[in-house]
Amino acid sequence: MKAEIITVGTEILLGDIVNTNSQFLAKELASIGVEVYYQETVGDNETRLLNLLEEAFKRSDIVITTGGLGPTNDDITKEIAAKYFNQELVFYSDIWENIKSYFEKLGLKPTENNKKQAYFPKDCIILDNPNGTAPGVILKKENKMIILLPGPPKEMIPMFNNSVKSYLQSLTDYKLVSKTLRFIGIGESELEEKLIDIINSQSNPTIAPYAKENEVTLRITAKSKDDEKANDLIKSIEEKIKDRVGKYIYGYDDTTLEETVAKLLVKNNMTIAVSESCTGGMVSSKLIDYPGISQSFIEGCVTYSNEAKMNRLGVKKETLDKYGAVSSETAIEMAVGIAKNLNTNIGLSTTGVAGPGGGTDEKPVGLVYIGIYINGDVKVKKCNFSGSRDKIRNRATNEALNLLRLELLK
């Protein structure tokens, strides 16, 4: 089955509301084997919405809309759907009673225009909405179907999960199962180059690379009548990918880099302290997002000035005078100093030029050193990043976490 998602609302077109409904619906539909090839947003305009429905049904079996089911004059989705399917709207007294009861629970009275929400096409399935006053609708004609859902996510999501998902599942024998591989330390173009023959020969499963901030993801999607067969298909392709670029994979699906690193720290019973300059506490903040990290994470400090580096970490004045705060030598002394002071297995440090000013020919904006001390072994990595101050700091944070991950895996 092919479905199309249409979000209705001028406020979305104007950017007043972020459209999260399409993202939610696309993921849920994919999980039950319903393919989505198109997503659109249209304003509260009768002609444009009707034209869009005509176009959508030329290429899709199912159209799912969100929004436009309210009581005001610009809420027109239900009326236009009925017009397209040549259905008369009739008043449902039981729905009106439900709407009045909803208002009563809030200590309010419905206005006359709320009656609009109790009118439905004569031949339809009405979807209960315990979280609001706008019931949903399923309307079918021949081989075409439209599903009308309310716009607010707090109403739309429960309605889809409780009523629509099982209904659609009953109409298809196939499922789409996906697994996302998360990569760091390799760019999208390089990753594609290493896997191009696998990507070009894909059929089932399919492989889709996506470039995201500071990382690349690869989504493998298999279509099958049962989950076990789909997972077997995914595993076969995944093994081929891991053979070539497995060292860049840090996690799967919704796993974050900081979660992966934190789990490694806890699993290996390693303690860590972090000293940061250019990242200003971002590395520490990421690590402590993970529940249970307290048994490993001892302390994080922002030693931004030279005085702080000397007084808190024991960085030598001679080192700062000779090499400067942004140097491999300073990064090493920062990592060693924080670990020694707190008696931890690991010391991790960052120091660099985040910009937008402060760079020189010798030490340009984007130059960052990351130091790491692990049980007596010391390493430092020199990085050159580009972009805004925020981007440089974020990239440095992720690079520090990835360096720590790679060392822990050893």
- Rounded to the nearest integer, the mean pLDDT of the chain is 95
Burial of 8 (0-12, 13-18, 19+ CB in 10 A): buried
pLDDT of residue 396: 98
Q: pLDDT (tens digit, 9 = 90+) per residue, 34-63? A: 889 999 999 999 999 999 999 999 999 999
Digit-coded pLDDT (tens) for 365-402: 999 999 999 999 999 999 999 999 999 999 999 999 99
Asked if 64 contacts 6 with a C-beta cutoff of 8 angstroms, the reply is yes
Q: What is the pTM of this model?
A: 0.77
Q: How confident is the model at residue 10 (pLDDT cuts 50, 70, 90)?
A: very high
Query: Which residues lie closer than 8 Å to 237 by C-beta, 6 or more apart?
Result: 198, 202, 205, 207, 220
pLDDT band of residue 211 (cuts 50, 70, 90) is confident
> Closest by alpha carbon to 401, among 211, 188, 255, 269?
255
Report the pLDDT value the prediction gives residue 174, as an integer from 0 to 100.
Answer: 81
- Rounded to the nearest 5 degrees, what angle is found at the Cα of 92, between the Cα atoms of 132 and 106? 30
* Separation between Cα atoms, residue 140 and residue 135, nearest integer Å: 17
Contact 403, 349 (CB under 8 A): no
Q: What is the rounded CA–CA span in Å between residue 357 and residue 100?
A: 62
108 falls in which pLDDT band (50, 70, 90)?
A: very high
In tens, the pLDDT along 161-202 reads: 999 999 998 888 887 888 999 999 999 999 999 999 999 998
What's the rounded mean pLDDT across residues 292-298? 97
Q: What percent of the chain has pLDDT over 70?
A: 100
Q: Are 248 and 235 in contact (CB under 8 A)?
A: no
List the 125-127 sheet strands across, edge first: 35-42, 2-8, 62-66, 144-149, 136-141, 125-127
Q: At what angle do helices 227-245 and 188-200 cross, to 10 degrees?
A: 130
Q: Nearest to residue 151, comparing CAs of 279, 9, 47, 255?
A: 9
Residues 312-353 have pLDDT tens digits of 999 999 999 999 999 999 999 999 999 999 999 999 999 999
Length of the chain in terms of residues written: 410
| More confident site: 223 or 252 | 252
Give the separation between CA 395 and CA 215, rounded to whole angstroms.
Answer: 10
Return contacts of 43-51, CB within 8 angstroms, 24+ apart.
43/8, 43/9, 43/10, 43/13, 44/8, 44/9, 44/10, 44/68, 44/74, 44/75, 44/76, 45/10, 46/76, 46/79, 46/80, 49/6, 49/8, 49/76, 49/77, 49/80, 50/80, 50/83, 50/84
